[in-house]
Amino acid sequence: MNITDKVILITGASSGIGAATARELAAAGAKLLLGARRTDRLEALAAEIVAAGGTAEYRALDVTSRDDMQAFVEHAVARFGRVDVLVNNAGIMPLSPLAALETQNWDAMIDVNIRGVLNGIAAALPGFTAQGSGHFVNVASLGAHYVVPTGAVYCATKFAVWAITDGIRQEHRDVRATIISPGVVESELGHDITDAGSAAVMAEFRSVAITPDAIARAIRFAVEQPDDVDVSEIIVRPVKGSF
């Protein structure tokens, strides 16, 4: 359903939601370019997809670099002739109380979670506009809807992703824009938490979680809709979870 032979780019594809999304969309017939910093994992994932009969290539990608993101998109165009969908999935979540003053982590979240999305938009939007079609799928969070203790900066970055995505929808009537807001998902997100109290809270949150393939199916649902249908947002959370 409207996925076969689409050229889809996925950032943060080396694990978690990104890797699950790659498997889901490849199985539906998409042509994939996978990006992340850990190229060994990307290589293994691409090989797995190709062995299963799919199409996937990979490229090292640092989403905080505008030039790197531009080269990522240009590589896809050179290889496949166009880009149809960009899944801005890369994100980090080193939670901490504001009073801990972990300003380096604040900067890192702003760089990856906000600038990374904007760099993807800057790289792909001109091509989408020129071809009269395209689709941004931006992975936000339930943290885009409300704030929790230790999550003020992280939630702020995801509020920003929500706002940016809705801005695309309003400004570009020929470009689809989807926000995917996961609840607690089994993933490496949060592995970089350095504040001990925040790490304990995250462990409690993770006691009830869904698997990344649940988010991948939501992304597939948004992508496979007819071209005149825009799924603006999907929230996916554990049935028994509080977040």
Catalytic residues: 154
Q: What is the dihedral of CA 176, 9, 65, 114, to 10 degrees?
A: 40
Closest CA to 76 of 170, 11, 2, 4: 11
Angle at 98 between CA 92 and CA 103, to 5 degrees: 60
Residue with tokens 């996978």: 34
CA distances from 35 to 39, 69, 86, 202 (A): 8, 9, 11, 27
Angle at 62 between CA 116 and CA 90, to 5 degrees: 50
Closest CA to 121 of 106, 110, 134: 134
The runs of H, that is alpha helices, within 31-115 are 39-51, 66-80, 103-109
Distance CA 137, CA 225 (A): 13
Closest CA to 172 of 233, 111, 121: 121
